[in-house]
Structure 1
Amino acid sequence: MSVFGFALQKKYRLDLKTVSTVSLYVFLPALVFKTIYETSWNINYLHIGIYIILLTHGLILINYLINKLLKNNTKESTALILSTSFMNNGNIGVPLALLALGQVAFEYSVVIMIVHTIFMSTTGIYIAAKGKASWKIALKKVLQNPIIHAVYIPILFKLSTFPFPDPLFKSIDFFAQGAIPLIMITLSMQLAEIQVTKFDWVKTSLALSLRLIISPLLVFFVLSFFSLDPLLEKVMILQAAMPTAAIITIYALEYDVLPDFVSSITFLSTVFSMITLSIILSFMV
């Protein structure tokens, strides 16, 4: 699929902005809605919600200090935050937890994915939009995005006694099934636009270190102050070590926040995570 998207863009030079807009406003909201609506809720959501907030804000704080030190401009700062603060729990994290740590770990990972998806669909869009606009405009962008409705509407239905209309849910499910393939194709199309000679390897290495090494170490440190289920702690550390979420590339494209840099970090973090995740798992199993 990635090869197809790469070859497609090399040959036809399609308008990536249009592709990303369709992903962000049609397919992603459907995926978010379906995921939230079909998931059972329990007390773990509270623990995991705190975990996601602490991890993401911890990484944003570290990024803030680094951006000040490097004197990055607004777009550079935003791109670094986006590419290091949001991880790929869905495509990689959930199946890896199942294979390496078992069924209960899989269930924990699904909850993490849901909470992280909600956070990424709100805070992530705000950060991306703020890369070239004021906080008021960025907040307006979040509220205008269909994803925000895809977050609260299924929650309201789950809290009520009214079932969501089945014909409408089938339509949403239809679009949701196409979300991941379209995101992966968009990412590979964006990779086709990257010129390796223009890479800032220092910032690239820094971003990869933050996403794959500093992030799980930060969670390990924070967990030392709590007493949770040991398996849940393992899952939290493992999920924190995931590569950059592919969805972030869509945000970078839509809001014009150095999409080349963000997509390169998404790709390279996925490649190098094969090494870092193997090391982390060797201490867990």
Structure 2
Amino acid sequence: MTYFTYILLNNVVPLTIMIAIGVILYRAFKLDIRTLSKLNFYLFSPALVFKMLYESSLSLAVLGQTLLFFVLFFAAMFLLMEVVIRLRGYKGGMIPAMRNSVIFYNSANYAIPLNQLVFVGDAFTLSIQIIIMMMQSLLPNTYGIYAVNASKRNDMKQTLRTILTLPVIYIIPIAFLMKGLDIPIPGPVYAPINYVSDAFIATALLTLGVQLGSMKWTFNLTDVMLSNVLRLCVGPAVGFLIVMLMGIEGLMAQALVLSCAVPTSLSSVLIAVEYDNEPEFSSQAVFSSTIFSIFTVTLVIYLIKFIG
């Protein structure tokens, strides 16, 4: 009950309030969602990724094992989604939209505070989650955008040019390089980075609210619920199997399984809005998975206690 209450009060309720504010602002002022989307892609998200990587403490051993787990998990979920997509007969933009709603998950503003609650501020488990967050920041800005453009048969050179304009693919190596070489950042420069990174969560949630406020609420219940089940139930089950196969135990195993259990990432909505690819489905998948995660994440937290 403690975990349930914490997740409800500290994750779902604040997220829902911010989303509701976005809905209200759209209804009142008809905010331009594409401007909000570009702010997220080109300013707020890169600043958050840089700050978290620059300030983190990552060992090479933990980095290598976590990256191997992530690659195996991503490959397994990708193959599973290919089977689901073929069985459901999805066409066009719905293919990457459904895939993105399952393989991209909220590894930053949901998973990091959750990790620190469950493991009581443990620096080791936090470093694992930060590595997952790094990969979940990189993939939507590369593969996610590629898949959406490919589904629309857009010119691949133009698609690659679009990907190469995204700051986050440069921010990650720069952050690691500066951290590895112990390059200090002057206070007058670091202060704006802090301001901008702190604004990411609010802006991303407002963007989701604006999208929800502007769309027609015609729920495709079957597809949204299928996405939720695959993300919230199948995801952590696959993570558990991979941990078992890799022979990982203890806190690391628990942290990795928990990292797979969080709801759909806001990045799937930002991609959908930016490239006009099933934004209604993507918004509904994010919103509903966040609500249902109250129950599913609580169950996962209970079950990982039995991982040796």
TM-score using structure 1 length: 0.91
Aligned-partner Cα distance in 2 for 1:174–1:281: 32
Say yes or no: does 1:123 pair with 2:140: no
Return 106-115 or 253-262, whichever deviates more.
106-115
Q: Give 1:181's aligned residue.
A: 202
Aligned-partner Cα distance in 2 for 1:134–1:14: 30
CA contact (8 A) 2:22 2:210 kept: yes
Segments of 5+ residues of structure 1 without an aligned counterpart are none
Q: CA RMSD in A?
A: 2.0
Say yes or no: does 1:80 pair with 2:98: yes
CA contact (8 A) 1:219 1:240 kept: yes
Deviation readout 1:152-190 (Å, 9 max, x if unpaired): 222222233543444333322221111111001101111
CA contact (8 A) 1:213 1:276 kept: yes
Aligned runs of 1:226-265 on 2, under 5 Å? 226-265=246-285
Deviation readout 1:247-284 (Å, 9 max, x if unpaired): 32112111111111111100000000111111112223
Say yes or no: does 1:268 pair with 2:285: no
Q: Displacement of 1:135 after TM fit?
A: 4.4
CA contact (8 A) 2:257 2:304 kept: no
Change in 2 beyond 3 A, CA 1:154/1:101: closer
Aligned runs of 1:192-231 on 2, under 5 Å? 192-196=213-217, 198-231=218-251
Corresponding letter in the other structure for 2:103: S
CA contact (8 A) 1:219 1:237 kept: yes
Q: Displacement of 1:29 after TM fit?
A: 1.6
Calculate percent identity across the aligned residue pairs: 27
Change in 2 beyond 3 A, CA 1:146/1:110: closer
Deviation readout 1:81-121 (Å, 9 max, x if unpaired): 11110111222212222222333334433333234323344
Q: Displacement of 1:134 after TM fit?
A: 4.7
Aligned-partner Cα distance in 1 for 2:83–2:20: 37
Aligned-partner Cα distance in 2 for 1:124–1:222: 23
Q: Give 2:133's aligned residue.
A: 113
Return 156-165 or 275-284, whichever deviates more.
156-165
87, 90, 95: which is aligned to 1:69? 87
Corresponding letter in the other structure for 1:50: L
CA contact (8 A) 2:34 2:273 kept: yes
Say yes or no: does 1:146 pair with 2:167: yes
Segments of 5+ residues of structure 2 without an aligned counterpart are 1-17
Corresponding letter in the other structure for 1:22: L
Aligned-partner Cα distance in 2 for 1:130–1:248: 16
Say yes or no: does 1:168 pair with 2:189: yes
Q: Displacement of 1:207 after TM fit?
A: 0.7
Aligned-partner Cα distance in 2 for 1:147–1:253: 18
Aligned-partner Cα distance in 2 for 1:33–1:106: 16
Corresponding letter in the other structure for 2:288: L
Find the residue that maps to 2:228 and give its secondary structure: helix
Change in 2 beyond 3 A, CA 1:128/1:48: farther
User: How many residues are matched?
Assistant: 284
